[in-house]
Chains A and B, each alone.
Chain A
Amino acid sequence: QVQLQESGPRLVKPSGTLSLTCAVSGDSISNSNWWTWVRQPPGKGLEWIGEVFHTGKTYYIPSLKSRVTISADKSKNHFSLTLNSLTAADTALYYCVRNSGNSKFDYWGQGTLVTVSS
């Protein structure tokens, strides 16, 4: 059974940096899947942030591209999200997701709420 688990600080200061890690079990990061981050501001809809392949290839949503980095660590079988220059608008539930191809987001983490506040 594939499982994804997010971890990282829950409270980050404005202008600071958000760093989250997604531990993957039951599958290998090195397999032919894309590893994706999705967020959801409180009471709002889903927003695709970006994704990484085990080769290091990445795609990002243009609106966040200047502030975001997603990377994969094959040795630890996890992938990570870094988002800098934070504002209150970045407060959201952050999900890590497996994309097994053609937008098939078949496994989701439980999500972690990150609040940007001083």
Chain B
Amino acid sequence: QSVLTQPPSVSAAPGQKVTISCSGSSSNIGNNYVSWYQQLPGTAPKLLIYENVKRPSGIPDRFSGSKSGTSATLGITGLQTGDEADYYCETWDSSLSAGIFGTGTKVTV
């Protein structure tokens, strides 16, 4: 079972903004980088954010990441219907010596 907690779902109208939280502890988020992934229905996850705030080339600046203490947040502005997907945070857990994913959040536009 995951030790990174995300809200099960968030929703907003097209053009609006949503934020997705990822809550952990000092053994994971508090001392390691966080990445975020978008999983469209029936497809493999796609990297959106890495090292807390960085976007890979090709990811629009509508997607943003932040981290404070033992929590991280993914923000999506200018929501589009194509953003409807599941979103996962991920980090390393130093106590487990293993990677861990968040519980996942379904975004509905």
Distance A14 CA – B35 CA, assembled complex (angstroms)? 35
Interface size on B, residues (CB 8 A): 28
Residues of A contacting B46 in the complex (Cβ-Cβ under 8 angstroms): 108
From residue 11 to 62 of chain B, which have CB atoms closer than 8 A to chain A? 32-35, 37, 39, 44-47, 50-51, 56
Q: For residue A103, which residues in chain B have a CB less than 8 angstroms away from its CB?
A: 32-35, 50, 90-92, 99
Q: Is the CB of A104 within 8 A of B104?
A: no
- Residue from the list B37, B47, B98 in contact with A61, Cβ < 8 A: B98
A26 at the interface (CB under 8 A from B): no
Contact across chains for B99 and A36 when beta carbons are under 8 A apart: yes
Q: Given A102-B33, A103-B90, decide whether A45 and B103 contact each other with a Cβ distance below 8 A.
A: yes
* Known contacts A103-B35, A105-B45: A51-B99 contact under CB 8 Å: yes
Q: Which B residues are CB-close (under 8 A) to A88?
A: none
Say whether B50 contacts A102, CB under 8 Å: yes
A residues within 8 A CB of B86? 45
B98 near A60 with CB under 8 A, answer yes
Determine the residue in chain A with the shortest Cβ distance to B103: A45
Q: Which of A45, A61, A105, A106 contacts B96 (CB 8 A)?
A: A61
B41 to chain A, nearest CB (A): 12
Q: Is the CB of A106 within 8 A of B44?
A: no
- The answer to whether A105 touches B98, judged by C-beta atoms less than 8 angstroms apart, is no
What chain A residues lie within 8 Å of B35 (beta carbons)? 102-105
Chain A contacts with B in 12-66, Cβ cutoff 8 A: 36, 38, 45-48, 50-51, 59-62
Contacting pair A105 B88 (CB below 8 A): no
